[in-house]
Copies of this chain bind each other. A is one copy, B any other.
Amino acid sequence: MTHVQIHREELELDEPTLVEGLPGVGLVGKIAADHLVDVYDMTHYGTLRCDGLPEIAVYGEDDPNVLGPVRLYADAERDLLVLQSDAPVSPSAADGFASCLVDWLEANDATPLFLSGLPTEKDGVPDVFGIATGEGAALLDDADVDAPSMDGAITGPTGALISEAQQVGLTSVGLVVEADPKFPDPEAARAVLRTAIGPLGSIEVDTEALVAQAEEIGQAKERLAKQMREAGDESTSAQPLGMYQ
């Protein structure tokens, strides 16, 4: 039953770029992905029905219609897809999730930009560097994204995604940005959007609003992080996801 369910088949996308927004260090991916969905008013395009994703019912302010927790949003004009996630992918489900998503990306000629925070006590503008699979190194070069300055490894669900892309030979890019290891980090999200996602996706992202809301978002994200950590709890309950969007 593992698959990606598309709700808007009529939308035409031509070799789209996908920005992955799983929650991770500094919530960098989630903040960047949510910002793109918001700023471009992207269309809810699909829902991931991959084995191992949490079976929870997500809802939004002022709209009673329930959504799945991991969704695709599209902007046909910009040939842009965003993967938005309201729940973390559990480590035991990571490999199956990676196959499920990478299979779909391959079949749809999409080029994913995977996002990862590098835990750092940083100072000034966070550094961004890129890693690549398939022909991704050329994309990084064209976009003037730095190579890594030291050896490293990406673990967790995003590591599984990049590893899967590498195994099947899919062209992809992994963007690593210095980020706060303990708190949501909109500044890191902004850096990766401006330095790398913008050039790689041939899009101009207005991140001023992101800066302006940084402090407010920071506070709301702390609540979100707490709720997400608790999403593994067993009792049935409704949980507000925060109001920063």
Interfacial residues, chain A to chain B (CB-CB below 8 A): 22, 24-25, 29, 49, 54-69, 86-87, 90-91, 94-95, 98, 116-119, 129-133, 136-137, 140, 147-160, 162-167, 174, 176, 181, 231, 233-243, 245
Contacts and interface: CB of A to CB of B under 8 A. Distances in A.
A62 B149 contact: yes
Contacts of A25: 235-238
Among A150, A176, A235, max chain B CB count under 10 A is at A235
A243 B151 contact: yes
A119 B237 contact: yes
Contacts of A174: 57, 66
Given A55-B163, A150-B241, 11 more contacts: A24-B237, A25-B235, A49-B167, A56-B153, A63-B147, A64-B131, A65-B137, A66-B132, A118-B238, A151-B241, A154-B236
A150 to B, nearest CB: 5
Contact of A55 (B98, B129, B132, B239): B98
A108 B59 CA distance: 27
Among A98, A159, A164, A165, max chain B CB count under 10 A is at A159
Nearest to A57: B162
B237 A59 contact: no
B147 A62 contact: yes
A237 B148 contact: no
Contacts of A87: 153
A72 B137 CA distance: 22
Nearest 8 pairs of A and B residues by beta carbon: A156-B236, A24-B236, A57-B162, A151-B241, A158-B236, A118-B238, A55-B160, A55-B163
Nearest to A242: B151
Among A22, A25, A56, A165, max chain B CB count under 10 A is at A56
19 contacts: A25-B236, A55-B163, A56-B155, A56-B159, A57-B159, A58-B152, A60-B151, A62-B149, A64-B148, A66-B166, A116-B238, A118-B238, A151-B240, A151-B243, A152-B238, A153-B241, A154-B239, A155-B237, A156-B234
